[in-house]
Structure 1
Amino acid sequence: MVAGEPNDVRVKRCGGGWVVHTVEDGKLTVLRFKTQSPAENFADGQRARLGLAAKPPIDER
């Protein structure tokens, strides 16, 4: 990630758990969760805090 990139929040399924990738001012933060619901709730809060309107689809790759 580099400075100037747009802010973004993504939820991904990862190895039996869930991760939330938050990009704020080009800085990536990754948080891991055991289940989907807390990950989605955290991601929703981050989207609201960053002023992001849309909720992107879950990346299940």
Structure 2
Amino acid sequence: MVAGEPNDVRVKRCGGGWIVHTVQDGKLTVLRFKTQSPAEYFADAQRTRLGLAAKPPIDQR
């Protein structure tokens, strides 16, 4: 990530678990979760903290 990029939060299914990508001021943080519910809860909290309004779709790739 590059400084100046917009803040973003994404949830992605990865293997047998879930990951949450959080970009704040161009810095990427990745957290892994075993199940979808805690990942979504964490991502929603991060969106609220960063002032992001909408929840993007889950990336199933």
User: In the TM superposition, what is the alpha-carbon distance from 1:54 to its structure 2 partner?
Assistant: 0.5
User: In the TM superposition, what is the alpha-carbon distance from 1:21 to its structure 2 partner?
Assistant: 0.1
2:25 is matched with 25
* Secondary structure, counterpart of 1:60 in structure 2: coil
* Secondary structure, counterpart of 2:44 in structure 1: helix
Say how many residue pairs are matched: 61
User: What TM-score do the two structures reach when normalised by structure 1?
Assistant: 0.99
User: In the TM superposition, what is the alpha-carbon distance from 1:28 to its structure 2 partner?
Assistant: 0.1
Q: Which runs of 4+ in 1 moved over 3 A?
A: none
Q: Which runs of 5+ in 1 are unaligned?
A: none
Q: Distance in 2 between matches of 1:22 and 1:12?
A: 11
The CA RMSD measured in Å over matched residues stands at 0.2
Q: Deviations over 1:1-58 (max 9, x none)?
A: 0000000000000011000000000000000000000000000000000000000000
2:47 is matched with 47
Q: Which runs of 5+ in 2 are unaligned?
A: none
Percent identical pairs in the alignment equals 90
* Secondary structure, counterpart of 1:39 in structure 2: helix
* Secondary structure, counterpart of 2:3 in structure 1: coil
